[in-house]
C-alpha cells in the first residue's frame, strides 16, 4: 500500500485507512461513478454546458490511479442519506489546470444539512453533502479526512467535481451591471432604496443557468416577511468576473450532487455588490427556497458568495444585501428593522417543529439553525444591514 507523508502532522498516512484517525485520499477526475438520480431527467452532460464528475470512496482507496484528465472548478463531498452528517475534519488540495502547481491544504466545511429543503420538499435521489468549495480551474485532487473519534463515515461517500462550463453566448449577451459603490461612498451611507425600488438583478439567463437541470415546476410560499442572510462558504478565491461561473457551479452541485429541485438560495450577492437571481420562479414572487431548514416558508434566502468567518464582507456587498432586503420586505410592508414570528417546520432546526419564535426580519442563518453561517464577520454586520435597509 502506497504511503504519503503529511508534513503538517509529521506522520505517514496510508491510502485506504478508513478506520484510522487520519486518511489521505488521492483522487483523479478520470475515475467516475454513477451520479445520484437528479430531481428530473437531464440531457447528457455532453449536450449542456458544464459537467459533474463523481469519484467513489472505493476509487480513492485503490492503488494505481491513472493520471488525472478533465477539469473542475468546484468540489464537495456527498453521501447517500441526506439526514446523515460527516463528522470529520476535511481539507483538500487541487492542482491548477494552467500551471500544474498544487494549492495549499484548503479547509472544506462539513456542515451542509442546514442549507436544505424542508423534508416535505425533498426530491427523489436527494443526498447529504458538504457545502461546495470554489477552487478555480483544476485537474487533480487530494483529500485529507480526519474522522471524529467514535464515528463512522456515511455510506455512499464520494467526491463531486463540478465544471461550471464557459460563460457562453448567453452571459456575453447580458453584461453584468456596474458594481455597487465601494467603501466610503455616499451611496453606502444613505442607500437610495427606502423600502421600494427594485435593485439591478442579474437574471438566471444573465449568469448562464442551464434550465434543463432544474425541476420544471416552480414552488411558491406565503408572502416574504423575513430574510435569512447566508454565506455560501465556497471560499473567497474568485473575482467578480468569475461570479457567474461560481453560481453555475453551486447550481449544478445543488441539483446534480445534492439532488435538489434547483439552486437553494433565492438570491446571491458577489463581492462587487452585484445581485443575482437564484431559484427560478420570478424575483418578485415568493419562491420557496432551500436555504434555512425549518424556516423556508414565508422567507427569502440571500447568500453572500464567499466565506465570512474571518474575512470581512466588502461594503459593496453589505449595501447590495440591504437594498435587496428592503425591496423584498417592502412588498409586504415589513419593517427591515423590526421583528416577525415564524413557525418551525422541522425539529432539525433550533426550534421543535410547530414552535413559534420571534426573529429579526433580517436574520442570520445561525438564528434558525445551529451553524456558523453566515460567518462571524458577516453576522456582526447584520445590524448595519438592517439600518441601511430601513433607510
129, 185: one domain: no
**Which of these three, 135, 163, 191, is where a domain ends?**
163
Cα(244)–Cα(164) distance, integer angstroms? 9
**Which of these three, 144, 163, 182, is where a domain ends?**
163
Q: What is the pLDDT at residue 125? A: 81
37, 119: one domain: yes
Strands 362-364, 226-231: parallel, antiparallel or unpaired by DSSP?
parallel
17, 112: one domain: yes
**Statement: the pTM of the whole predicted model exceeds 0.95:** no
Overall domain count for the chain: 2
204, 147: one domain: no
Q: What is the pLDDT at residue 38? A: 32
SS (H, E, C) the chain: CCEEEECCCCEEEECCCCCCCCEEEEECCCCCCCCCCCCCCCCCHHHCCCEEEEEEHHHHHCCCCCCCCCCEEEEEEEECCCCCCCCEEEEEEEEECCCCCECCCEEECCCCCCCCCCHHHCCCCCCEECCCEEEEEEEEEEEEEEECCCCCCCCCCEEEEEECCCCHHHHHCCCCCCCCCCCCCHHHHCCCCCCCCCCCEECHHHHCCCCCCCCCCCCECCCCCEEEEEECCCCCCCCHHHHHHHHHHHHHHHHHHCCCCCCCCCEEECCCCCEEECCCCCCCCCECCCCCCCCCCCEEEEEECCCCCCCCCCHHHHHHHHHHHHHHHHCCCCCCCCEEEEECCCCCCCCCCCCEEEEECEEEHHHCCCCCCCCHHHHHCHHHHHHHHHC
109, 186: one domain: no
Q: What is the pLDDT at residue 108? A: 94
Cα(83)–Cα(80) distance, integer angstroms? 9
120, 135: one domain: yes
**Which of these three, 163, 185, 211, is where a domain ends?**
163
329, 268: one domain: yes
88, 177: one domain: no
Residue owning grid cell 420570478: 282
Q: What is the CATH number of the domain that holds 344?
A: 3.40.80.10
297, 363: one domain: yes
Q: What is the pLDDT at residue 3? A: 30
Q: What is the pLDDT at residue 56? A: 86
For the chain (391 residues), the mean pLDDT of every run of 10, in chain order, is 30 30 42 31 44 84 54 96 92 94 94 61 80 95 91 94 82 60 36 64 96 95 98 95 97 96 97 98 97 95 97 98 98 97 91 96 96 96 98 89
Strands 226-231, 106-108: parallel, antiparallel or unpaired by DSSP?
unpaired
Residue 377 is part of which domain span? 168-390
12, 108: one domain: yes
Q: What is the pLDDT at residue 173? A: 60
Backbone phi and psi for residue 2, each to the nearest 5 degrees, phi listed first: -70, 135
152, 289: one domain: no
C-alpha cell at 152: 463512522
117, 67: one domain: yes
- C-beta neighbour count of 163 within 10 angstroms: 23
- C-beta neighbour count of 152 within 10 angstroms: 11
Amino acid at each position: 500500500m502506497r504511503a504519503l507523508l503529511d508534513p503538517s502532522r509529521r506522520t505517514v498516512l496510508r491510502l485506504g485507512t478508513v478506520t484510522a484517525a487520519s486518511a489521505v485520499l488521492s483522487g483523479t477526475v478520470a475515475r467516475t461513478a454513477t451520479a445520484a438520480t437528479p430531481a428530473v431527467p437531464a440531457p447528457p452532460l455532453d449536450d449542456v454546458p458544464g459537467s459533474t464528475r463523481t469519484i467513489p470512496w472505493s476509487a480513492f482507496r485503490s492503488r494505481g490511479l491513472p493520471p488525472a484528465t478533465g477539469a473542475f472548478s468546484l468540489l464537495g463531498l456527498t453521501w447517500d442519506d441526506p439526514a446523515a452528517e460527516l463528522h470529520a475534519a476535511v481539507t483538500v488540495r487541487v492542482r491548477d489546470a494552467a500551471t500544474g502547481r498544487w494549492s495549499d491544504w484548503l479547509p472544506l466545511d462539513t456542515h451542509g444539512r442546514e442549507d436544505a429543503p424542508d423534508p416535505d420538499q425533498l426530491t427523489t435521489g436527494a443526498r447529504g453533502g458538504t457545502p461546495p468549495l470554489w477552487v478555480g480551474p483544476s485537474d487533480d485532487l487530494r483529500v485529507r479526512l480526519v474522522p471524529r473519534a467514535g464515528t463512522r463515515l456515511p455510506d455512499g461517500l464520494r467526491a463531486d467535481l463540478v465544471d461550471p462550463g464557459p460563460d457562453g453566448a448567453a452571459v456575453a449577451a447580458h453584461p453584468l451591471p456596474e458594481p455597487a459603490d465601494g467603501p466610503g461612498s455616499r451611496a453606502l451611507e444613505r442607500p437610495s432604496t427606502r423600502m421600494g425600488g427594485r435593485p439591478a438583478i442579474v437574471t438566471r439567463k444573465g449568469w448562464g443557468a442551464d434550465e434543463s437541470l432544474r425541476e420544471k415546476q416552480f414552488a411558491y410560499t406565503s408572502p416574504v416577511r423575513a430574510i435569512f442572510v447566508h454565506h455560501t462558504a465556497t471560499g473567497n478565491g474568485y473575482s467578480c468576473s468569475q461570479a457567474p461561473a461560481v453560481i453555475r457551479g453551486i447550481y449544478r452541485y445543488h441539483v446534480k450532487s445534492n439532488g435538489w429541485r434547483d439552486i437553494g438560495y433565492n438570491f446571491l450577492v458577489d463581492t462587487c455588490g452585484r445581485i443575482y437571481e437564484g431559484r427560478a420562479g420570478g424575483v418578485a414572487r415568493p419562491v420557496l427556497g432551500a436555504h434555512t431548514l425549518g424556516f423556508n416558508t414565508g422567507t427569502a434566502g440571500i447568500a453572500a458568495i464567499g466565506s465570512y468567518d474571518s474575512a470581512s464582507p466588502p461594503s459593496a456587498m453589505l449595501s447590495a444585501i440591504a437594498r435587496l432586503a428592503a425591496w423584498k420586505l417592502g412588498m409586504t410592508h415589513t419593517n427591515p428593522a423590526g421583528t416577525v414570528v415564524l413557525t418551525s417546520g422541522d425539529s432539525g432546526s433550533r426550534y421543535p417543529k410547530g414552535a413559534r419564535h420571534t426573529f429579526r426580519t433580517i436574520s442570520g442563518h445561525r438564528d434558525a439553525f445551529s451553524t456558523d453561517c453566515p460567518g462571524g464577520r458577516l453576522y456582526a454586520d447584520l445590524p448595519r444591514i438592517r439600518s441601511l435597509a430601513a433607510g
